[in-house]
Structure 1
Amino acid sequence: MTFMIPIPYRLTPISPIHIGCGEEVNWASTLIDGQNLLLIDLMKAELPTNLARKIIDISLKSTNERGLLQLQQLFRDNQAILKTAAYDAIPVRPKLLQEFKNKLGRNVQRNNKNAPIINKLDIARTAYASLTHSPYIPGSSLKGALRTAWLADKAKRQHVKPGNQGNELDEKKILGGSFATDPFRLIHIEDGMTTAENLTEAAWASNCNRESGKEKISNRVEVIRPCAYAAFSGSLRRRDLGGRPAKNHNREAQPVNAPPLRDLVNTVNNYHLKLFEEQARQWQNLKQIDRTWVEKTQRLLEEVNRQNCMLVRLGKYGTAEGKTVSDDMLRQVKVKVGKKEYKKQSHGTTFWLAGDYQAQSGFLPFGWAILEIGDYRSKVLQDYCETLGKKAPGTPSAMPKDPVPKDPQKALQWLKAKLGPATRNKEAQADLVIQVISSAGSWPIDDRYELSDLLADYNFGKFHQDIDDLLEEICEE
């Protein structure tokens, strides 16, 4: 008989996390609104005929960089109209936001033929749920972090040596043959989902030399902000085969069991704590690293290691050392040493750091998180998040607070434009709606009904019932 034993988990990011999903947003799908980028869907925009015709004409007649510049200028000058197509909002680091403002609709570079080069202003999105637009942590990312640590420990105990065919052969040696003998096939980890709001922001990802700190390349990325305690949750399930052996064709069948939870916690912590300390020593060379964060995180990890928590590293930009076995003899990182020359060595030569555009300090490494298992909740971790947690840029004022127009029809259009971004900040949305309802008591009854119909398409979370009650009052004759 097979048993699936669910064990709840909670995940707390302690540094910025970016989990690639293959999607980007750019100037053609965003608008600047205060400290936020509003994400827009032009297919849903209610465009005046003359504006739609201009967009089509420029798109068809000007396929070069000059046409792109004209489109950027057109979008910038018609933000009020395009806001009606907004469906989400991402806060942006201050200097990165200023970079957008400086480059949007302007020619800031020219090629060797003196033609304008238009910056696309791309931002790589982190993985998100398509229905709620909220970020999530894929269970496969978590499982990969745990399995890498477990494989590294097992390789060390078995004294596995590198083979001619690289990591694939090494892994087969460690597992004893195949998928059938892999204990991690008996561990199932759900995606980490969230109901929290304002968890992400757009930041600058800088690839720096580990010795000099000099930036080599950079990207704009959406990251999950650190220090939101227990922001993500799910379940980990251990499958028990009841002592039955694994089906391993052409080999003698061996009993396979999922790693005991206590052993897994210790193994994962040993791997990641060692990695953190190794890299913390190297971070001392980098002036842009936030040293307060490093010191406080080191003190946190001294406590976490004694509790039912695991330190893990997730997502993109987490260095090759965090995704390979820890033995220097087995790890082979491909490093560029010349224009077309590469070599393999046990460690990388750069770090990816998250911060603000052209900032000189305040950068953090990517991908670190604490995983709490079972019903245990770490008071030390909660205090750490309360101390280091920072208010997201652009919140709670993701929706600008302008006066409500006195004319009912203008007020309805005003509210529709404000609600367009569908920000995850339900409280800000509810404030806007209550502003309008408060002034709608003197409207003609047909306009009040139109307001009720408009709000029926929105979900205001915990404020929904209060808004329904207010609408019922003003819609009574």
Structure 2
Amino acid sequence: MNRNILSFDVRIRPVSPVHIGIGNEVVGRGAYHLYRDSSKDALALLQPRKLAGRLLDHYGDQGNMAQTVRQRMEEDEYPPAILREIESGTLALRRMGVHPDALPLLSARSGSLKIITAQANGLPYIPGSSVKGALRTAWLDWQTQQSGAYPGYVADVTSADIRKPKQASQALLERSQTAGAINGLVEQLPVKSGTAPNRDIFRAVSVGDLLPDRPDQLTRVQAVLSMSYQAGTAGFARPSNKGQAGAEAWECLDPQSNATYSGVIQIDLDLLRRMQGRRSDNPKNWEILASALGRAEDWENAISLYCSRFYDQQSEHYIGILGNFNRQSGISTWGGESRVVDWIASEENERRAEKIFPLGMGVGLLGHSILGSYAPEDVGGILGEETSEKSEVSVLKRVLDSGIKREAHAYQDQASPKPKSRRVTGLFVDRSGKKLPWTDMRAERPLGWTELTLTRRSG
């Protein structure tokens, strides 16, 4: 049986560090080896079973072999012959570079590493499911721009229980929550409990895993931290959680590797056509989305518009807000291409604005930042000023305040930090001696920026 398929080749190239994690898995201090490679810091993820076998060969049969292996791994001390095998890759799952600012986090005895998604052989890749989720976000952005769709989007957000900021945040940022008010429920199609029609309609879209065009040096360990911004005449950027949030070591896809990850997107046009004939509470928006997903030109337009909107609003957020902050205090965000403001404002990023596609962990914060790039008095133009019967504070403000315990009126208080945060990479060290951890820090690039290219397949 021949299937009626619309296909695209998709290529993604990281242009900033990108982290696509595997749940909460964290590799402890003993599971990696730090070494110098061509005068640069490097790290090898160990294969404990292979390592145990080599140590057993080296030391002979010992009754306390398990303790010996554990001690060697924790102390990162091995016989020279075994060290050579680790650093050459024979006993390593994979090897990667280490950003100098992340080294102290790994060198500490209590250090840990949040690793990236990888195949069983250790080769990093970009899961198709992650790309598909990011594409749903792009299409949700497209949906909210269609005539008659936005009121439903606002209604869904404002219906959230704002006494529970997490629920409000989900209703604002997660596709499975927001799309329900846009499209309505589909009665004839099997919809799992808790899912929304645009998630269901995306059953017609499949995205294969994206594999790299090279096997080595694809990742790098970065120091990652979330920033908050405090406005006012002495405004500055600082670590989140009242300045107490510490940096973490995250393995990220390394933009300096210049690797490209390739895969295939397929859209089942027959399934989309059958879906268009189903009834829904809002058939117009449902049919508009189903019809657009079946047209190559709409895919290209929807993604390029989303990427442009993302870049424009991120530029406004960083350049317009951080660019006006006091440079004498807080996290340093200026200073050549290595700093976040200068990097985002670069001509290269401006040229590729229509291809800059957010992907991976840390991107969830982008929704906060895009909305938060507007002054409080201007947010009505984004989500309206609707309030709940349970509170006079709009849902948007509660969402932006999510995770920050303070009085509602503090949102308008210039002395309070603005909860516009994102994960960034850089150096986070207190050199002041005054226990002000945000006094001397360097913010580099944000996480999650990639360059996406779609090419329609013939046939």
Matches within 5 A, 1:45-444: 45=51, 46-47=54-55, 48-49=58-59, 53-54=63-64, 56-57=66-67, 75-76=76-77, 78=79, 80-81=81-82, 84=85, 85-97=91-103, 100-101=106-107, 103-104=108-109, 119=110, 121-131=111-121, 133-157=122-146, 158-160=149-151, 161-163=154-156, 164-165=159-160, 167=171, 170-178=178-186, 182=198, 183-196=201-214, 197-211=216-230, 212-215=236-239, 216-229=245-258, 231-241=260-270, 243-246=273-276, 248=278, 255=287, 256-259=290-293, 260-281=298-319, 282-284=321-323, 285=325, 286-288=331-333, 291-292=336-337, 294-295=341-342, 297-298=344-345, 299-305=347-353, 309-322=354-367, 327-329=382-384, 332-333=399-400, 335-338=402-405, 348-356=419-427, 358=429, 360-361=441-442, 363-374=444-455
Q: Return closer, same or farther for 1:130/1:76 CA change in 2, 3 Å cut-off.
A: same
Structure 1 residues 15, 52: closer, same or farther in 2, change over 3 A?
A: farther
Identity of aligned residues (%): 18
Q: Distance in 1 between matches of 2:155 and 2:427?
A: 40
Q: Could you list the per-position Cα deviations for residues 187-244 of structure 1 after superposition, in whole angstroms to 9, with x for gaps in the alignment?
A: 3222221032312111111222223322323211101112544611112223323844
Letter in structure 2 aligned against 1:87: L
- Amino acid of the structure 2 residue aligned with 1:300: E
**How big is the shift at 1:343?**
11
Structure-2 change in CA distance of 1:204 and 1:52 (3 Å): farther
Partner of residue 435, structure 2: none
Range with greater deviation from structure 2 (77-86 or 205-214): 77-86
Q: Alpha carbons of 1:318 and 1:235: their partners in 2 closer, same or farther (altered >3 Å)?
A: same
- SS for the counterpart of 1:9 is strand
Find the aligned partners of 1:317 and 1:301 in 2 and give their Cα distance.
19
SS of residue paired to 1:134: coil
Q: Compare 236-245 and 48-57 and name the one that shifted more.
A: 48-57
Q: CA deviation at 1:184?
A: 3.5
CA distance in 2, matches of 1:40, 1:361: 31
- TM-aligned CA deviation for residue 266 of structure 1: 3.5
- Letter aligned with residue 66 of structure 2: I
| Preserved CA contact (<8 Å) 2:313 2:370 | no
Q: Distance in 2 between matches of 1:12 and 1:151?
A: 23
Matched residue SS, 1:335: coil
Q: Does the residue aligned with 1:264 lie in a helix, a strand or coil?
A: helix
Q: CA deviation at 1:323?
A: 8.0
Residue type of the alignment partner of 1:220: A
Deviation string, structure 1 residues 278-319 (Cα, Å, up to 9, x no partner): 3323343441466525445442343334xxx53211111224
- 1:89 aligns to what SS in structure 2? strand
- Determine the C-alpha separation between the residues in 2 that align with 1:145 and 1:344: 30
Contact 1:38 / 1:87 at 8 angstroms: preserved in 2? Answer: yes
Return the alpha-carbon distance in structure 2 between the equivalents of residues 342 and 189 of structure 1.
45
3-state DSSP of counterpart to 1:274 = helix
Output the amino acid matched with 1:225: D
SS of the aligned residue for 2:45 comes to: strand
Normalised by the length of structure 1, the TM-score is: 0.62
Deviation at 1:275, TM superposition (A): 3.1
Matches of 1:151 and 1:314, distance apart in 2: 15
Q: Helix, strand or coil for the counterpart of 1:372?
A: strand
Larger Rg: 1
The amino acid of 1:279's aligned partner reads H
Contact 2:185 2:280 in 1 (8 A): no
| 2:30–2:75 Cα contact (<8 Å) kept | no
In structure 1, C-alpha distance between the alignment counterparts of 2:447 and 2:267, rounded to whole Å: 29
Q: Which runs of 5+ in 1 are unaligned?
A: 60-67, 105-118, 377-477
- Is residue 322–residue 333 contact of structure 2 (8 Å, CA) maintained in 1? no
Q: Which has the larger displacement, 318-327 or 184-193?
A: 318-327
* Corresponding residue SS for 2:125: coil
| Number of residue equivalences | 346
What does the per-residue CA deviation read over 1:134-165, in whole Å, with 9 as the maximum and x for residues that have no partner? Answer: 22112222222222232133224323223324
- Displacement of 1:357 in angstroms is 5.9
Contact 2:307 2:356 in 1 (8 A): yes
The answer to whether the 8 A contact 2:424-2:443 is kept is no
Q: Which whole-Å CA distance do the structure 2 matches of 1:236 and 1:344 have between them?
A: 43
Deviation at 1:33, TM superposition (A): 2.2
Deviation at residue 8 of structure 1 after TM alignment:
1.1
Long gaps (5+) in structure 2: 86-90, 161-167, 190-196, 231-235, 240-244, 326-330, 372-381, 385-394, 413-417, 430-439
State the Cα distance separating 1:130 from its structure 2 match.
1.7
Q: Secondary structure at the match of 1:317?
A: coil
Q: CA deviation at 1:77?
A: 5.3
Aligned counterpart, 1:32: 34
Deviation, structure 1 residue 258: 4.0
